[in-house]
Amino acid sequence: MPATTVFVESWFLPIEIIKIVCTFLTSVCCVIYLCIILLNKTCHTLPMMLTANTCASTLAFACSMLSTSIVTIQNDSKQIYDQDLLCVSRCFASHASAFWLNYSFSIEAIYRYVIVMYPTRLYLQSIKFHTIIICLSWLCGILYPVVFLFLGSIVYNVDNQICQVPLGLSFPMIYAALYVYLIPLSMTVFIYFRLVYYVKQMSKRITPIYVISRAQRELRMVQHTVLTSVVLISLGAPYTIFIVLSFFHSAPQYHFRLAYISIDISLLLMVIVLLYFNEPLKTVVKKKLHPRANTVMAIIA
């Protein structure tokens, strides 16, 4: 007999269904993108490898959120209010995968920065170098939530039917906000403005046209990366708002349920924006969707 019960609100079910649909569609899109990158030779480039890293990170995050929503809706329907065995593991996975996702944008921005600022240092533009960076980011992502386990910060919230770090002015929450959001976003934005300044300075000097064109092209790519990450973070604003409010007042009773739906919707929109900005990936998808038109064009040519 559970010590605590929760009144199941009428809006719980539709909210959880929306979350499940969004995370499922996000996972499907990521799997499709990864298959295209792996199987299509035109996508076997370093920029596409970085895109694959973003897709893999998004897939991991979407799967962790999907599993959380499935368990939550099962517990609500069966009126189960006890913590299950994998509850803490799901929280750990969500923090690790969120770390991977946000830093994947920073890694893409770093690659564009290196191309413009250090064009002669080929090792910094090599697949080997960026593979090392990606592996380090995934290792750090696994180590980052260990702090929560060590401090016992992950607790079961019966109202929201999840295990999570409680909101409030505390070291675990500040630590999470700093390492998962503030540092990677600041890195990406800083690189963008640094490239903007560099391109403006180049236009004032006598510089070969091809050098300026390359710098402008990479600047646009970083701009796309910034916009993609902003879509993810801005649409997840309710979670940020709840975090800030919790520093001064207690969070609303069902804050995680409300915050997670915005995160799940933003994930789906993010993968759509990712496809829109990624020309190689978009080209392959168009060819797969319109094979007959491609055949006709080939015959005419």
Homologous superfamily assigned to 12-276: Rhodopsin 7-helix transmembrane proteins (1.20.1070.10)
Residue-wise pLDDT tens digits, 212-251: 666 666 666 676 777 777 776 666 677 777 777 777 777 7
- Closest by CA to 100, choosing from 33, 145, 34, is 145
248 burial level (CB within 10 Å; 0-12, 13-18, 19+): exposed
pLDDT at position 263, please? 87
Mean pLDDT of all residues in the chain?
82
Its pTM surpasses 0.75? yes
pLDDT at 210: 59
How much is the pLDDT for 296?
Answer: 46
Higher pLDDT among residues 46 and 225, named by residue: 46
Mean pLDDT of 132-155: 93
Task: Give the pLDDT band of residue 65 (cuts 50, 70, 90).
Answer: very high
Q: Quick check: 192 pLDDT over 90?
A: no
Tens digits of residue pLDDT in 261-293: 888 888 998 899 888 888 888 888 888 777 654
Q: Tell me the mean pLDDT in the region 185-189.
A: 86
The CA–CA distances, whole Å, from 295 to 10, 262, 285, 300 equal 52, 42, 15, 9
pLDDT in tens, 82-94: 888 888 999 999 9
- The predicted pLDDT at position 203 comes to 65
